Structure 1
Amino acid sequence: MAVQKFTGPLDWDDLRVFLELARAGSLSAAARGLRLSHATVGRRLAALESALGRSLMERRPEGYVLTEEGESVRALAEAMDERAQAIRRREGDDAGLTGTVRLTMTQALADIFLIPRLGPLRAANPGLDLEIIVDNRTLSLARREADLAIRLARPQRGDLVGRRLATLGYGLYAAPDAPDALIAYDESMAELPEALWLDRHGGGRRVAFRSNSVQGQLAAAVAGFGIAFLPCLLADGVPGLERRPLPGPSLTREAWLLVHRDRREVPRVRAVIGHLVAVFTAERERLEGRAGHREQPPEHG
């Protein structure tokens, strides 16, 4: 249906909804991301198209697709959004060591390793509030979904500053009487380096247990389902587990601390960065899997 030509005032909220819909590609995904109803997202898009007097999107079976005019408007909206986010990132820069710092990372790294080591940071900065967002997705630092991120990959975006925190070691773990079967990731995690390593060096063993949760795999190993390939920081020292020799070369992954350029000099963010660097440096051997562990020769066969 053609959009009537009408020139009216633009509403930034309409542009924001349009931009999220363009990024998500579907009404339901955009509604979830914006925490709005489907009807509101559709109404905002219609209002923007009416104000501009042009059709910006076509609804197809695979989702919403930008028209040629929509592509042009998206480019302008992206630039506006980046400037708006830059202003937001500067809010509270003079607040000193008070306020909230949002930090995102994987659940295993948060629950098992980092959160128990945040007490000294809190004691030294009583006005500082922390929000830990446990999520495997790469939350956007530019859109202020988080201030800091710990990820197991080097940053790719030019507006992010990265610092390597540590090298994480991995090992094979099993209960003493566990069967000669594997505990592995499900298909949704098949491209992870850990999953690829296990496929390559698993020796064709039967997979007795699958999970997309590292903690679930750890629990399965303790329960005796088989042999799991786990981060050493998670499995070393767990009662009921022993570390098995590796049947091939070891795997390591790098943990990177990411921050947006505009946020790295904010005092409260700098305080958290300093504490994280100190914690990861002090625990280097544990993270690498060398704490209290003597290397064994690889399996043969």
Structure 2
Amino acid sequence: MYLSEKLVTLKRMHANLTIELVTSPHDVRISQREADLFLGFFKPTASNLDVRKLGSFNLHLYASPEYLTRKGMPRDKAALQDHVFVGYIADLIQLDAVRWLDEAIKTPDFSFYSSSMLSQMFSAAAGGGIVMLPSFARAQRFGLHPILPNDVQVTREIWLSCHHYLQRLPRIRAVVSFLTQAIELDHPVWNAGASMNESRPF
């Protein structure tokens, strides 16, 4: 969602650039050239990659007004045990980084599963249950209300990686420069000092 909107601006800046955005709950093996660039929630470890941390973002719980009218607003984290949730299909998750709901509540009672975050959001918007979404999803656009925003908060880092042999190509440098500026502005790293130490510039 966030990238789809941002890449429209990138295309306007570089009319001859062809952009293909692939989303996946699985690890894209950029070291084996399955993609030119990889933007993910964890730091890749392959030796033939250049990697940098671009930013970080929070995730929060959300629910629709209809759901909250039926089930009530949770008073605290303990009260979440009395509610139902929308989340990922556990058997299809290959990246621990997207198991974010596990950090908020143990053994949640699920009413709906999907491998798509969009499907989860729309299910929650229809009253299907409480969902955990990243801040960049802007869930309020779909009528969802934050649940216990000060008590339940999960954070993820944003990492960008590129194969050594591609980093000097003009098209790659253009995309890297654009994404770096956009994400550093919209989702700055919480600990800037740690970011500089852990990053290697392209």
TM-score for both structures, normalised by structure 1: 0.52
In the TM superposition, what is the alpha-carbon distance from 1:185 to its structure 2 partner?
2.1
- Determine helix, strand or coil for the equivalent of 1:155: coil
Aligned partners of 1:148, 1:169: CA distance in 2, in Å?
23
Pick from 116, 122, 129 the counterpart of residue 213 of structure 1.
116
1:249 is displaced (CA, Å) by 5.2
CA distance in 1, matches of 2:145, 2:181: 29
Name the counterpart of 2:22.
133
Where do 5+ consecutive residues of structure 2 fail to align? 72-82, 191-202
C-alpha separation between the residues in 1 aligned to 2:30 and 2:50? 11
Give the counterpart of 1:192 among 96, 101, 108.
Answer: 96
CA gap 1:207/1:279 in 2 versus in 1, 3 angstroms: same
SS in structure 2 of the partner of residue 154 of structure 1: coil
Q: 1:205 to 1:252 in 2, by over 3 A?
A: closer
Amino acid at match of 1:264: Q
Distance in 1, Cα, partners of 2:176 & 2:49: 14
Per-residue Cα deviation, 1:71-124 (whole angstroms, up to 9, x for no partner): xxxxxxxxxxxxxxxxxxxxxxxxxxxxxxxxxxxxxxxxx1112222332233
Describe the SS at the equivalent of 1:280.
helix
Percent identity, aligned pairs only? 27
Q: 2:45 aligns with which of 156, 175, 191?
A: 156
Q: 1:201 to 1:280 in 2, by over 3 A?
A: closer
| Kept after mapping to 1: 8 A contact 2:87/2:131 | yes
Q: Give, as a single letter, the amino acid of the residue that structure 2 aligns with 1:129.
A: T
1:244-300: per-residue Cα shift (whole Å, max 9, x none)? 105855211111111011111111110110011111123227x99xxxxxxxxxxxx
Does 1:280 find its partner at 2:183? yes
User: In the alignment, does 2:10 pair up with 1:121?
Assistant: yes
Q: Which residue of 1 aligns with 2:79?
A: none
Compared CA separation, residues 152 and 126, structure 1 to 2 (3 A):
same
> Which structure 1 segments of 5+ residues have no match?
1-111, 289-301
Given that 2:27 and 2:95 are in contact with CA atoms closer than 8 Å, whether structure 1 keeps it comes out as: no
- Residue 227 of structure 1 corresponds to which residue in structure 2? 130
1:202 aligned residue (87, 105, 110): 105
Q: Using the TM superposition, give the Cα deviation of residue 212 of structure 1 relative to its aligned residue in structure 2, in angstroms.
A: 2.1
Once residues 283 and 115 of structure 1 are traced to their aligned partners in structure 2, the CA distance between those partners, rounded to angstroms, is 15
- Residues 24-173 of structure 1 correspond to what in structure 2 (within 5 A)? 112-173=1-62
Give yes or no for contact 2:38–2:162 (8 Å, CA) kept in 1: yes
**Poorly superposed stretches of 4+, deviation over 4 Å:** 246-249
- Displacement of 1:216 in angstroms is 1.3
| 1:43-91 per-position Cα deviation (integer Å, ceiling 9, x unaligned) | xxxxxxxxxxxxxxxxxxxxxxxxxxxxxxxxxxxxxxxxxxxxxxxxx
Say if 1:209 and 1:133 are closer, same or farther in 2 by CA, change over 3 A.
Answer: closer
Q: Is the 8 A contact 1:182 1:202 kept in 2?
A: no
Q: Sort the Cα spacing of 1:123 and 1:151 in 2 relative to 1 into closer, same or farther, 3 A.
A: same
Query: For the residues of structure 2 that align with 1:200 and 1:136, how far apart are their CA atoms?
Result: 18
Pairwise CA RMSD of aligned residues? 2.6
Please give the secondary structure, in 2, of the residue aligned with 1:238: helix
Amino acid across the alignment from 1:185: Y
Indicate conservation of the 8 Å contact 1:181/1:227, yes or no. yes
Task: Give the C-alpha shift of residue 202 in structure 1.
Answer: 2.8
Which AA in structure 1 matches 2:173?
R
Q: Cα offset for 1:131?
A: 2.1
SS in 2 for 1:131: coil
Q: Distance in 1 between matches of 2:13 and 2:38?
A: 22
The 3-state SS of whatever aligns with 1:134 is coil
Point out which structure has higher relative CO (alpha carbons under 8 A, 6+ apart).
Answer: 2
Change (3 A) 1:147 1:194: closer
Q: 3-state SS of the aligned residue for 2:32? A: coil
